[in-house]
Structure 1
Amino acid sequence: MRTLRVLTLLSAAVLLCSAAPGLEPLTCSEGNGPAAADKAVHHINEHHNHGYKFRLHEVQGNSVEQVDGGCNVKLQLDLRETKCHTINPKPFEDCEIRGMGARAVKANCTVLMTIKDGDASVTKYECDTRQEKTNLEMVRICPDCPVLLPLNNSEGLKSVREATAEFNKNTSNQHYYILKEVGRISTGYIMGLGMNYYPEFALVETHCPMGSRIIIEACIPLCPNRARHAFCRSSYSSQNGLLSTECDFYPAENTTLLGPGEKEPVCGRHGRRHPHGHGGPPPHAHNHGHGPPPDASNEGRPPHAHNHNHGPPPTGGKGKGSFHPLRRFHPCHGFLVNPDPALHPICPWPLPHRPHN
């Protein structure tokens, strides 16, 4: 059967949304739970830069300890994962929470806050992120519901690779896009089509002009505030290959036009600008197809271990340069014990310091 490939591009204009409302002032009274929880969830989403945004489901505990000049607050929060990826500019309050059939994800968080002289600040939090129901529980409740696969599942990544290639056939784009992150991969069996895979993934705009003769995996992303992003959902059949790809575009934060002769700045994997004044990567920063993407599996490396090629190789690429962007994926710099490989967990904050040898 001939492979069907459909690409739907949605304008960012439909994503216009209001600014997040102002937070209520916090006091040391016992009734500060809702306002404290609101501030805590804002703080968590501001520091959660992988996967999806979270919304508050329930305040399960709130204790206040009076100290000189203020108080210490301890919150127990039940959060729910939304359908908004972290690259989505929509305020998390406006994002839809996943239903049970879409494999809902919850996070139980312990948050510590300090309130002094009317100034409230989050000092620490730790969360346990997991699927609301296990696969065994879901089979009993909904046998036909999808199952979440590890983020480095080979068939799921094959679908992502082909969908990204299809995305880059859209000639209305100014630059090529490469994979930023796989958000989740679900699968289910369909009679006559075999196993179907439904990945969700984020793409980022690169320096490479559309139509240029260049190996796309050698392209590096534009600086975070200069890059457009896209969030895509695709379906892939084990028998018939890529079936569909649908993407939402998100505009760049900084749309200032470059001046005459001015080149795009070059940023490192943490979004910091390189001191080099040219429009390409620093000479020592090239990596030709052997590593994972930044902000996914390359966390915790020493600063000099640059890796700028987090895009897919040419279709059919195998062997040494094959595309496994999350092969060495260690969420939260490896500080979590036995994290669910199918999820992007909320990392503890602040992360403990791990010195480099």
Structure 2
Amino acid sequence: MWVCVWLVALCVCWHGGSPTPVTPAVGCQGPEVLRAAEEGLDQINSDLTEGFILSLNRVYDVSQQTGEGAVLFNLTIDVLETKCHVISRKPWKKCEVKDVDDVPVYGHCVAFISVGKSVELRSYKCAIQQVPATVIVDTCPDCPTVVQLDDPIIAETANLILQKYNRMNRLPNYFTLLNVTGASMQWVVGPAYFVEFTIRETVCAKDTPDVDLTQCKMMDCEFAHKAFCTGSHTTLDDGTFQTKLYIEVKCEIFEPEGAKAEEEAHVRGDSGHQSEDEDHKHAHTHLHPYEHHHHPPNSNQASPRLKGSLGIVVVLPPPRVPPPPRASPAASNCPAKRKTNLGLDRFPI
């Protein structure tokens, strides 16, 4: 008996006085894994330059490597597209996921994320695709169905909606169409078309008579406003002629990045002069470039990283039904439970 105890003690001393710690198996529900996934996805969304903010649905698979003072996670996460455009720069937790009646988009991201004192996204690659139209119709026969963005009726719809918005908003300059991001159709009293698009401020002032909006150049300064718009118009079709009825529009305008940077510069006191009013706020209905203070770069500040430099998002066509089988996770206790259930029984995502 004493011989066995002596041998165990000898082995402990041989390995430095204490047993070598064993790294526990990684699972998809561990707190550090969830922290890496949630904060890493925030950084992925911050890196995107187009499309919509992605929401975390679940961690599907994970592996890890331990380095000096940090753990490098290789995560596969399932994502769902939200209703927030990337120009909003909203955190994904504050964005509503697109539901069945919004043409849902799903996919996954493979991301390398370092976790130590902070979480740092190293690289990522995402692939997303729309849920097939047949699945939507089977689940919700009355829901809108996808329309191709190059359909002439979509361009007409977007222009009608933009015309109404230019008439109703109180900003001094006209906006022009930047990019159509989505379109769908639903039969009401006639075909109703729903369009999502982004717009950008132009140099044309509304108080200028007889403005031809097609000739208005986009404002290319850092203080130009952008907005994300949703709208629709319904056509009454009685079999003899078509009458365009209700046009609805809703736009969310976002503060220009240049204006945000200028406000931050004033707060830091980097402007090099004192404001006459210390409580001065930049409430930008719009200021032209010459009305802003251009601050020289601070030599103590690091240059900002270019957006889109850490990875890519690949948009794939809708898959066939049923979708091809997916490889099983390699890690134990994976995948994690889904956060969102869209109720697509034939098409679990």
Q: TM tier, shorter chain?
A: 0.5 to 0.7
**Equivalent in the alignment of 1:302:** none
1:105 counterpart residue number: 105
* Structure 2 unaligned blocks of 5 or more: 1-22, 236-241, 260-281, 293-310, 319-349
Indicate yes or no: 2:80 matched with 1:80.
yes
Aligned equivalents of 1:93, 1:112: Cα separation in 2: 21
User: SS at 2:167's partner residue?
Assistant: coil
Equivalents in 2 of 1:58, 1:218: separation in Å?
A: 47
Compared CA separation, residues 146 and 96, structure 1 to 2 (3 A)? same
1:57-96 Cα deviation digits (max 9, x unpaired): 1111121023466443110111111112223354321111
Q: 1:245 aligns with which of 232, 244, 248?
A: 248
Amino acid paired to 1:157: A
Residue 43 of structure 2 corresponds to 43
* 1:160-179 paired onto structure 2 within 5 Å: 160-170=158-168, 172-179=170-177
Q: What amino acid does structure 1 have at the position aligned with 2:135?
A: E
Q: How does 1:41-190 map to 2 (within 5 A)?
A: 41-67=41-67, 70-88=70-88, 90-115=90-115, 118=117, 120-131=119-130, 133-170=131-168, 172-190=170-188
Instruction: Give 1 or 2: higher helix fraction.
Output: 2
Task: Letter of the 1:108 partner, please give it.
Answer: H
Q: Give the drift of 1:171.
A: 6.5
* Matched residue count: 242
Cα distance change, pair 240–102 in 1 and its aligned pair in 2 (3 A): same
User: Matched residues in 1 for 2:183 and 2:288: separation?
Assistant: 43
What is the distance in 2 between the residues matched to 1:69 and 1:262? 46
Scaled by the length of structure 1, what TM-score is found?
0.59
> Could you state the TM-score of these two structures normalised by the residue count of structure 2?
0.60
- Rg larger in 1 or in 2? 2
- Partner secondary structure for residue 220 of structure 1: coil
State the Cα deviation string for residues 20-76 of structure 1 (Å, max 9, x = none).
xxxxxxxx9844211100121111110222222121111111210234664431101
Number of the residue aligned with 1:201: 197
Letter in 1 for 2:160: E
Give the equivalent residue in structure 2 for 1:13.
none
Q: Is the 8 A contact 2:128 2:315 kept in 1?
A: no
1:234–1:243 CA contact under 8 A, matched in 2: no
Deviation at 1:182, TM superposition (A): 1.6
After superposition, what is the alpha-carbon deviation per residue over 1:160-180, rounded to whole angstroms, capped at 9, x for unaligned?
011112222237320000112
The RMSD of aligned alpha carbons is: 3.3
Structure 1, unaligned runs of 5 or more: 1-27, 266-331, 341-357
Matched residue SS, 2:53? strand
Where does residue 274 of structure 1 map in the other structure?
none
Q: Sort the Cα spacing of 1:262 and 1:228 in 2 relative to 1 into closer, same or farther, 3 A.
A: closer
Letter in 2 for 1:248: C
Change in CA separation of 1:65 and 1:219 when aligned onto 2, cut-off 3 Å? same
Q: Secondary structure at the match of 1:83?
A: strand
Query: Secondary structure of 2:82's partner?
Result: strand
Asked whether the equivalents of residues 183 and 202 of structure 1 are also in contact (C-alpha less than 8 Å), the reply is: yes
- In the other structure, the counterpart of 2:290 is 263
Supply the distance in 2 between the matched residues of 1:242 and 1:219 (Cα, whole angstroms).
28
In the superposition, relative to structure 1, how do residues 80 and 248 fare at CA in structure 2: closer, same or farther (>3 Å)? same
Rate the CA distance shift 1:79–1:207 in 2: closer, same or farther, 3 A. same
Conserved 8 A contact 1:232-1:245: no
Over 3 Å counting, the alpha-carbon distance change for 1:246 and 1:120 in structure 2 is same
Deviation of the 1:339 alpha carbon: 4.5
